[in-house]
Chain A
């Protein structure tokens, strides 16, 4: 392989941040407090092995935290925050927000998948009051994925089982090294499991993507395919024993790896694959499982809020569907939510955006068709996009400055505790804002 150094977008950005500075000398031990075995809510990996070291109310050192989690922490500094509102200012801001939302119904409540469970529930109640859609950032993919799970049946697993059993790991248009940095080392590829005691040496890694991605150098097979070729590959894999081939140098190796595996874990980003591809993946999984010789599980890997799983659970409990809902005057419980951003733009009059904060995955996430709507934004951070927002409500960062119950991508719950030393900054929690926003302005 040539020396193709991977150029990340941040390196080409003139305003890219400098890498985090190491504390002076590795022997730096001058901390006010240390917090060990903390849970990071930066993504749905929910790593529970993080240590934080606090000095003067700031996190000055972390252990085991990846860049995604680090960015959440190092942007807690004053420069990146909106100032904490005093009670009267907060009341006035909530007042303005309430008046805007009341006068522009129905309101889209968007992005609760970055919050703790209690706040997700509060957002649901609020959406009911505002008579509009209640959706996570990845609502389209969510709906498409679970509709297929229902239609085809779904084989899935806890991440522990993937770690213990998976002999073939496939990332289908999902790159954990972009969205869930520690996924490979903690769960899916490098971790040694009960029956994969040599870790990655006992596994085959394959990936499908449109362009070379971060994970590419690690893969035994890498299929760089344009959109639309996925189904052909899946069909070839499903029917290779009938002589069906696929014109790619890695195809024979992929076939051999699959033939030698008794357990296959396929991670897919449903937002990045088409309907036909999702259908084909589920059919492939069903076929393999029902043949009885191997097990294939499909797990979604969302580039969405860290608590997308918690959102699904609350939605399931309330609506019997995991992808949110629309509260409309003539809707009945469980009526499916809108299916595209364009549909939403036609039906909603304003938006309540719950921003997950400074995260390259979510920058400029609101699509063009919704940007001209009046907007109330709940955000822990200061962002340039806020200059176009009508009302901005600064809050504590969930999972760092306030507690929350988050769910790992396989559904296991974690109580994420705020870090005590930095929770006294005067920011209201998102839970409180959501619970009180409509009680103001009467």
Chain B
């Protein structure tokens, strides 16, 4: 799956290193990627000549909030409820036979993510492999999301 990279975000920044945000533009791009900061936190982007770039950054980054435990961000505008993420989640594959076979989880099932109202939602983030500090970072859901609606930071 495509990944937002710091360099591509950097392309839309002023690249003046003015320091008004307290850091360089490259560092700001890193914080954008991590969703610690938003485009609105760069005063220079408010200027008319940067209006297009700001709009593109907002578009690229989406409006989803980051889940602190897993780092998952979901862009509701892009999610189509296809259920691929639910299906490929290794936690589900190991613990829920019906989900592994392609069926959706039942109402009482304990799963990491579910498709609720046609959008993917984190239901039990504590069960995600990413919540285990010693586990290798799992990116299955975001890797296979066909619309880039999921991002892990």
Closest 4 CB pairs of A and B: A191-B102, A64-B104, A70-B118, A19-B76
Let me know if A51 and B107 touch, CB within 8 A. Answer: yes
Let me know if A22 and B117 touch, CB within 8 A. Answer: yes
Residue of B nearest to A163 (CB): B102
> What separation, in Å, do the CA atoms of A246 and B103 have in the docked complex?
38
* CB contact list, A208-253 vs B, under 8 A: 214-215, 217-218
Question: How would residues 134 to 176 of chain A score, 1 for a CB under 8 Å from any chain B CB and 0 otherwise?
Answer: 0000000000000000000000000000010000000000000
8 further A-B contacts with Cβ under 8 Å, apart from A26-B116, A185-B83, are: A23-B117, A66-B115, A67-B81, A185-B84, A190-B88, A191-B100, A199-B100, A217-B148
Let me know if A69 and B118 touch, CB within 8 A. Answer: yes
Q: Which of A6, A11, A181 has the most CB of B within 10 A?
A: A181
**Contact residue among A5, A11, A22, A66 (Cβ-Cβ distance under 8 Å from B82):** A66
A61-B117 CB under 8 A given contacts A19-B77, A199-B88:
yes
Question: How would residues 348 to 387 of chain A score, 1 for a CB under 8 Å from any chain B CB and 0 otherwise?
Answer: 0000000000000000000000000000000000000000
Residue A65 lies at the interface, judged by CB distance under 8 Å to chain B = yes
> What separation, in Å, do the CA atoms of A19 and B4 have in the docked complex?
22
**Contact residue among A3, A6, A65, A185 (Cβ-Cβ distance under 8 Å from B147):** A6
Let me know if A192 and B103 touch, CB within 8 A. Answer: no
Residue B130 lies at the interface, judged by CB distance under 8 Å to chain A = no
Query: In the complex, what residues of B have CB within 8 A of residue A3's CB?
Result: 2-5, 8, 60
Let me know if A65 and B118 touch, CB within 8 A. Answer: yes
**Contact residue among B83, B86, B101, B121 (Cβ-Cβ distance under 8 Å from A26):** B121
Q: How many residues of B contact A (CB 8 A)?
A: 42
Query: In the complex, what residues of A have CB within 8 A of residue B5's CB?
Result: 3
Residue of A nearest to B3 (CB): A3
> What separation, in Å, do the CA atoms of A241 and B8 have in the docked complex?
43
Which of A's residues lie within 8 Å of B, judged by CB? 1-6, 8, 11, 19-23, 26, 34, 36, 47, 49-51, 61-67, 69-71, 163, 177, 181-182, 184-187, 190-193, 199-200, 214-215, 217-218
Distance in angstroms from A312 CB to nearest chain B CB is 25
What are 27 A-B interface contacts by the 8 Å CB criterion? Answer: A3-B2, A3-B4, A5-B2, A5-B78, A6-B148, A8-B147, A19-B79, A19-B119, A20-B76, A36-B106, A51-B106, A63-B115, A64-B114, A66-B118, A182-B83, A184-B82, A184-B84, A185-B82, A186-B83, A187-B102, A190-B84, A190-B87, A191-B100, A192-B93, A199-B88, A214-B80, A214-B147
> What separation, in Å, do the CA atoms of A71 and B119 have in the docked complex?
12
Let me know if B102 and A61 touch, CB within 8 A. Answer: no
Distance in angstroms from B134 CB to nearest chain A CB is 24
Query: In the complex, what residues of A have CB within 8 A of residue B86's CB?
Result: 185
Residue B27 lies at the interface, judged by CB distance under 8 Å to chain A = no
* CB contact list, B60-79 vs A, under 8 A: 60, 76-79
Residue B59 lies at the interface, judged by CB distance under 8 Å to chain A = yes
The A interface, classified by DSSP as helix, strand, loop or mixed, is: loop
Distance in angstroms from B80 CB to nearest chain A CB is 4
Let me know if A217 and B2 touch, CB within 8 A. Answer: yes
Distance in angstroms from B106 CB to nearest chain A CB is 7
Distance in angstroms from A360 CB to nearest chain B CB is 12
Let me know if A192 and B115 touch, CB within 8 A. Answer: no
Query: In the complex, what residues of B have CB within 8 A of residue A186's CB?
Result: 83, 102-103
Question: How would residues 1 to 38 of chain B score, 1 for a CB under 8 Å from any chain A CB and 0 otherwise?
Answer: 11111001000000000000000000000000000000
Let me know if A192 and B102 touch, CB within 8 A. Answer: yes
Query: In the complex, what residues of B have CB within 8 A of residue A47's CB?
Result: 104
> What separation, in Å, do the CA atoms of A20 and B2 have in the docked complex?
25
Query: In the complex, what residues of A have CB within 8 A of residue B39's CB?
Result: none
A4-B82 CB under 8 A given contacts A64-B104, A187-B102, A217-B146:
no
